[in-house]
Amino acid sequence: MNTTGIVSRMPLPGPLPSSMQLNEQGRLRHLLTIEGLPRALITEILDTAESFAAMNEQAVKKVPLLRGKTVVNLFFEASTRTRTTFELAAKRLSADVLNINISTSATVKGESLLDTLRNIEAMYVDMFVVRHEASGAAHFIARHVAPHIAVLNAGDGRHAHPTQALLDMFTIRRHKGDFTKLRVAIVGDILHSRVARSQIHALNILNTGEVRVIAPKSLLPACVETLGVHVFHDIREGLKDVDVVIMLRLQRERMEAGLLPSEHEFFQLYGLTEERLALATPDCIVMHPGPANRGVEIDSRVADGPHSVILEQVSYGIAVRMAVMGMIMGGASGGGANA
């Protein structure tokens, strides 16, 4: 019995009772998915992140909020980039951090996922930051951890990547303020994207004026409209008058699976170029969760151009992760950095 086995036999998580993520006082207990989070809570996370964003620009980028707490990065899927952002966020809150790459450790000895979890939680740790290739893995873990341990989903299969969506909302809010008047377009491989799924939920919870998805049929989930989005197959139509363009990363594996003809052809049809971007509003911002495939989903002139806020997203990602960790473990809110 290996850890992948245990998880891949689980059903895909449907909508969850909010009690899965919130405690009896309505405070954040785990962060597994954006779906079902109250708007006030998302706003509180973004407000708390503001104070950490300010702190990150000071000379001493460290607060003692989580001193004596232990955060475990439990990565079943390698991602130095993502792991690094959580590691930095935890260290700047003064927590101790353990990085555990499961594929190369416990499972070698045939230990099951649950035994591994039980073991690490017995070491009096406070939070698991979980990345796993199987959808629902973070929920599975949250359902089984000890009561004093929190779970932060750092990406599970095609399902959810809530901190990415929150940092995207933070970025949009910083540039655009009010969501109710915005047109936001998400472009590319919606079907396989946990990022897109979480963004759509967040945008809708925040009452965004219009959420569009732009993709070929082969890269859209069935009944995508039920998520509350307008579907466009033509990028020129879809980009018209939008205030925010969110490009998704194209996974090369999709080509091999026959869902797409070639990178070149994808760029011809859905790549973001300066010319196409001109169809959006003049002060439109361009976002990407990174790492971008230049020349595949986005032209370098756009990725590095005046509308791009891609690197701001990375910066805000630290602040947003600090906010979530601080709220769950340290009771941070609003003026979290001053706690």
Residues that are catalytic: 81-82, 109, 131, 161
How many binding residues for a second copy (CB under 8 A)? 52
Q: Are 219 and 191 in contact (CB under 8 A)?
A: yes
DSSP for 263-283?
HHHHHHHH-B-HHHHTTS-TT
Q: What span, in angstroms and rounded, lies between the C-alpha atoms of 291 and 303?
A: 11
Three-state DSSP at 285 gives strand
Q: What span, in angstroms and rounded, lies between the C-alpha atoms of 218 and 23?
A: 39
Closest to a second copy by CB, 179 vs 316, is 316
Closest to a second copy by CB, 39 vs 301, is 301
Closest to a second copy by CB, 17 vs 291, is 291
- Scanning 13-21, 68-76, 168-176, 278-286 for contacts with a second copy by CB under 8 A, the matching segment is 68-76
Shortest Cβ distance from residue 320 to a second copy (Å)? 12
Residue 61 — φ and ψ, nearest 5°?
A: -95, 60
Shortest Cβ distance from residue 203 to a second copy (Å)? 23
Closest to a second copy by CB, 60 vs 223, is 60
Closest-CA residue to 185 (of 268, 248, 242, 266): 242
307 binds a second copy (CB under 8 A): no
Binding mask 73-112 for a second copy (x = CB under 8 A): -----x-xx--xx-xx--xx---x-x-xx--xxx-xxxxx
> How many helices and strands, by DSSP H and E, does the chain display?
13, 9
Three-state DSSP at 221 gives coil
133 binds a second copy (CB under 8 A): no
Closest-CA residue to 2 (of 134, 146, 152, 154): 134
- For the beta carbon of residue 36, count every other beta carbon within 10 angstroms: 16
Among 6, 10, 36, 61, binds a second copy (CB under 8 A): 61
Shortest Cβ distance from residue 212 to a second copy (Å)? 27
DSSP secondary structure letter of residue 249: P
60 binds a second copy (CB under 8 A): yes
Core vs surface per residue 9-20: b (16+ CB within 10 A) or e: eeeebeeeeeeb
Closest to a second copy by CB, 11 vs 291, is 291
Encoded tokens for 216: 């070929």
Query: Contact residues for a second copy (CB under 8 A)?
Result: 56-62, 67-70, 78, 80-81, 84-85, 87-88, 91-92, 96, 98, 100-101, 104-106, 108-112, 115-116, 118-120, 122-125, 290-294, 311-312, 314-315, 317-318
